[in-house]
Amino acid sequence: MDALVLGLVLGGLYALLAQSFVLTFITTKTLNFAVGEFVALGAFVVLAVAGWSWLPDVGKLAVGVLVAAVVGAAAYRFLVVPFMTEGEHDVRWLLSTVALSFVMLNLITNVEGPSPQRSETARLSGAVDVLGAGVSKQQLLIAVLAVVVTVLLVVASKKTSAGLVMRAVSQDPETTSLMGVSPRLVGMVTYAVAMGIAALTGTLYAATVGASPVMGAPLLVASIAVAVVGGLSSLWGPLLGGALYGVLSEVTSYEFGAIWGETAGLLLVIVVLVWRPQGLLGRRTEVKL
Amino acid sequence: MSLEVDRLECGYDRAPILHGVSLRVGPGELVAVVGSNGAGKTTLVRTIAGLLTVRSGDLRVDGSSFARTSAARRARSGIVMVPEGRRLFPQLTVGENIEMGRRAARGRTGGEDPVAALLDAFPILTERWDQQANLLSGGEQQMVALTRAVAARPRYLLLDEPSLGLSPLKTLEVFRLIEMIRERTGAGILLVEQMADQALQAADRAYVLELGRVSMEGPAAEVRASDEVRRAYLGVAG
Ligand SMILES: Nc1ncnc2c1ncn2[C@@H]1O[C@H](COP(=O)(O)OP(=O)(O)O)[C@@H](O)[C@H]1O
Ligand SMILES: [Mg+2]
């Protein structure tokens, strides 16, 4: 039971970050492999403004999110767009975002040093009892936020005109441009939102483990796994994928030891990929005329 | 006042397709471009719409060049294309597809809503409003594609084979809709068709495109009456 609750909570963390992958995949069919470094970037920006006592914590979070959003939009414009010009089989963006990941990692390490720094912004201390399991309030906050962010995104995609444009671009970017909407602009906005979410995740996570240049790396593998299991083209996917992945890996490590936890999670990915390559909630891409 | 294509050359990677095509569409004018499969008709309209780059020559509207602007900007300025195969957003509803068309008309509102008249004349559109676009028949899809284009408030409308894959009866209906769009919106229409007869009957003027060159142009009735066109495109034995 404990492992189940802890698994769900952990899955929430992965799900929140997985939303960054899903968002960019839906509108641009690309993934930013530097997401882990945007996690760190957000955490360090918030750390840098932590001393601004006139600004409430929400404001500090917003600064971190905004900076990551701007860098994210620029990354799409200058490191993704130029490397996806040759059609669907052009995946040079994969290399350029991995390169960005290394560059950001080195830059952040040069400026901040390698060791974790304590982050107090938006930090809840203590634990609460959830169905008999002791859960840290901070982790619970992250999991709740994953649900809130997901619901907001789903509602926005169904009910707002920006959401309509997002769905249109995901189905047919070329025709979207014939409707007077630039798919490239939509991509930049999506990257901004997605990297903002990564930065938000980073700040909240840094409150538990400290801010460090490599803090995003362990989250990256798990959140890609979660995004793939749930389906890269589904906004609900991360919650389902996160719950399955989190519970499976927690229960497995509880029963068989820690090293088996992550292995079980990755086995889940393989099983899903074989059985449903588009993910549990994903849509097969339509063949169009 | 017109849409002008001036000695246009364009194509794909290494293959040049259009070799200096010139044509003109005036406001409210219906101009047909006919030509056999592979003549370059689709290449022509996609280039005017901004989906392919101009290699040489120019595109102008009311005298000013738009050859270097993006497809999205062209659409917002009222140069609107209905692509070959209709290209509705398959998982959006009819209403959402038409709503997407309105995006191109942002900032050019005022006057009566051009879509309302079409919805009155073709109640099927309203009946299907909440249906997913890929569940419609070909004829219905073409009606939605045309209505979506009208929602974009076109000044010039480019239609790439609107009758493709439709039964003769549906084709008639689509042509009736095109005629109505011309009356209601006053847009200049460039109609590209392989099924030449219907297009030439509806059009004011016409161009014949052969292997990327204009081989004949003139009033549609004259083009339709010429021996070459009768033999090559209208299936009349020579
Ligand atoms: N994407 C493409 N890449 C390379 N060549 C193409 C492409 N699309 C069309 N073509 C070639 O361009 C020529 C004109 O095609 P198109 O403009 O589609 O003709 P039409 O619409 O008149 O049938 C044809 O020879 C065709 O093979
Ligand atoms: Mg064609």
pLDDT of A1 over the 80 cut: no
Q: Is B40 near ligand 1, meaning CB less than 6 Å away? A: yes
Range scoring the smallest mean pLDDT among A115-119, A209-213, B45-49: A115-119
What pairs with residue B159 in β-bridges?
B82, B191
Answer whether B47 contacts ligand 1 (Cβ < 6 A).
no
**How many CA atoms are closer than 13 Å to the CA of B25, on its beta-carbon side?**
30
The one-letter amino acid code at B144 reads V
Give me ligand 1 centre to Cα B40, in Å: 6
What is the rounded average pLDDT for all residues in chain B? 92
Calpha distance A232→B22 (Å, rounded): 46
Percent of chain B residues topping a pLDDT of 90: 78
Domains identified in chain B and CATH numbers: 3-90+155-232 (3.40.50.300)
Residue of the CA atom closest to atom 2 of ligand 1: B12
| Ligand 1 centroid to residue B58 C-alpha, Å | 20
Min Cα distance A215 → chain B (Å) is 39
Q: What is the pLDDT of residue B237?
A: 57
Please calculate the CA angle A40-A41-A42 and round it to the nearest 5 degrees: 90
Q: What is the pLDDT of residues B203-220, one digit of tens each?
A: 999 999 999 999 999 999
Are residues A182 and B70, on separate chains, in Cβ contact within 8 Å? yes
pLDDT digits (tens, 9 = 90+) for A122-162: 888 888 888 888 888 889 999 999 999 999 999 999 999 99
Q: Chain A: nearest CA to B92, how far in angstroms? A: 7
Structure tokens at A18: 């997985």
What does the pLDDT look like over A121-133, one tens digit per residue?
A: 888 888 888 888 8
- A171 contact residues in B (CB cutoff 8 A): 89-92
What is the rounded distance in angstroms from the CA atom of residue A99 to the CA atom of residue A91?
13
Token pair of B211, please?
A: 């292997």
β-strand partners of B157: B80, B189
Query: Chain B: residue nearest A287 by CA?
Result: B90
Q: Which residue matches tokens 């009758």?
A: B163
Distance CA B202, CA B217 (A): 15
Interface test with B, best of A158, A172, A177, A179 (most B CBs within 10 A): A179
Q: What does the alpha-carbon distance between residue A214 and residue A116 come to, in Å, rounded to a whole number?
A: 9
Q: How far apart are CA A46 and CA A199, in angstroms?
A: 9
Summarize pLDDT for A279-289 with one digit per residue, the tens.
888 876 543 33
Decide if B92 contacts A168 (C-beta within 8 A). yes
Tokens at B154, concatenated: 């076109």
Q: What is the pLDDT of residue A287?
A: 39
Residue B36: left (phi > 0), alpha (psi -120 to 50), or beta?
beta
Average pLDDT score, chain A:
91
Assess whether pLDDT exceeds 50 at residue B238: no
* A178 with B96: Cβ contact below 8 A: no
Q: What is the number of alpha carbons within 13 Å of residue B88 lying toward its C-beta?
A: 29
Q: Give the distance from residue B102's alpha carbon to the nearest chain A alpha carbon, in angstroms.
A: 8
Taking only the tens place, the pLDDT of each residue in A231-266 is: 999 999 999 999 999 999 988 988 888 888 888 888
Quick one: pLDDT band at residue B236, thresholds 50, 70, 90?
low
For A110, other C-beta atoms within 10 Å of its C-beta total 10
Contacts of B96 in chain A (CB under 8 A): 164, 167-168
- Chain A residues near residue B92 by CB distance under 8 angstroms: 164, 167-168, 171
What was the pLDDT predicted at B130?
A: 96
Token pair for A134: 């002791």
pLDDT on residue A88:
76
First-to-final CA distance of chain B: 40
A179/B106 touch (CB, cutoff 8 Å), yes or no:
no
What ipTM was predicted for this assembly? 0.93
Would you state the pLDDT for residue A285? 58
Q: Which atom of ligand 1 is nearest to the CA of B35?
A: 22
Residues 6+ apart with CB under 8 A from A251: A3, A4, A7
| CB hemisphere CA count around A266 (13 angstroms) | 8
B190 sits in which H/E element: strand B188-193
pLDDT at position A254, please?
85
| Shortest alpha-carbon distance between residue B203 and chain A (Å) | 24
Going by alpha carbons, the residue nearest to atom 24 of ligand 1 is: B38
- High-pLDDT (> 70) share of chain B, %: 98
pTM of the complete model: 0.92
The DSSP symbol for A79 reads: I
Dihedral angle sign, alpha carbons of residues B209, B215, B221, B227: negative
Separation of alpha carbons A283 and A267, rounded Å: 22
Among the residue ranges B20-29, B113-122, B150-159, the one predicted with the least confidence is: B113-122
